[in-house]
Amino acid sequence: MKRSTKLLILGGIALVVLTLVIMFRNRIPEKGEVVRGGLSREEQEVLLWIARQTVEQYVQERTMPEMEVDSPALNQTGASFVTLKKDGQLRGCIGHIIARIPLYQCVQEMAVAACSQDRRFPPVMPEELSHLEYEVSVLTPLEEVKDISEIEVGRDGLYIRKGMRSGLLLPQVATEQGWNRNGFLIHTCLKAGLPPDAWKRGAELYRFQAQVFSD
């Protein structure tokens, strides 16, 4: 038998009810105050919970939990990144920049990718699970940058591509690293494997915003 975890959100308090059933089925109702940026606090908590539950089950069993989410916002197509940190240090980060599937499913898929497919790190091991911290970034659609003065450090993330190379840095990265606009542009180019001034030399440059939240 597999363990089924049902998360009920009641007035901002998350109650976890454990039952034993044949199938793993999660029903997560919507409720809550909407905060600036789009998702309610409870919806943010649900996505973080989904990311954690997915990583823990995948790392231990190599399977993904089956999820059912009632929230209309989480069922809309969405693009997201899932970032894993271990004791404050990056342990994995992968995402989608184009919205193609429901947001909660995107978070679940990116959670699996972050713990097992980030080529910078070995796959997460079971003994690491208790040390992981989770961060979810929900992205707005890409917007082409016509003038770099449009870029605001701390608000915008950057995506650059030229030929077969592309790279992306989330908005919070520039703030965490203390970069100014020019430094942010340079490091985005380098992330793509391009020359540091590629944004001046024909590369396509886009910006986006993100609603970022962590546990």
For residue 181, the surrounding DSSP H or E stretch is helix 181-191
Long-range (24+ apart) CB contacts under 8 A made by 149-154 are 150/207, 151/181, 151/184, 151/185, 151/207, 153/179, 153/180, 153/181, 153/184
Per-residue pLDDT tens digits for 118-175: 999 999 999 999 999 999 999 999 999 999 999 999 999 999 999 999 999 999 999 9
For residues 107 and 190, what is the distance between their CA atoms, to the nearest angstrom? 26
Give the per-residue pLDDT at 123: 98
Residue recorded with tokens 């890409």: 142
Name which CATH class applies to 143-210: alpha beta
For the chain, what percent of residues have pLDDT higher than 90? Answer: 81
Name, in order, each residue with C-beta under 8 angstroms of 27's C-beta and a sequence gap of 6 or more. 6, 68, 69, 70
What is the DSSP pairing of strand 165-169 with strand 157-162? antiparallel
Q: Are 92 and 84 in contact (CB under 8 A)?
A: yes
- pTM comes to 0.80
CATH topology (fold) of 2-139: Glycoprotein, Type 4 Pilin (3.30.700)
Mean pLDDT estimate for the chain: 86
Give the per-residue pLDDT at 146: 95
For residues 116 and 174, what is the distance between their CA atoms, to the nearest angstrom? 25
Give the per-residue pLDDT at 201: 94
Domain boundaries, the chain: 2-139, 143-210
Query: Residue 6's pLDDT band (boundaries 50, 70, 90)?
Result: very low
Give the per-residue pLDDT at 38: 85
In terms of Cβ atoms closer than 10 Å to its own Cβ (0-12, 13-18, 19+), residue 1 is exposed
> Regarding predicted confidence, which is higher, 101 or 4?
101
Per-residue pLDDT tens digits for 62-109: 999 999 899 999 999 999 999 999 999 999 999 999 999 999 999 999
Nearest CA to 200 among 160, 167, 153, 163? Answer: 160
Position 44 pLDDT exceeds 70 = yes
Per-residue pLDDT tens digits for 177-205: 999 999 999 999 999 999 999 999 999 99
Give the per-residue pLDDT at 30: 40
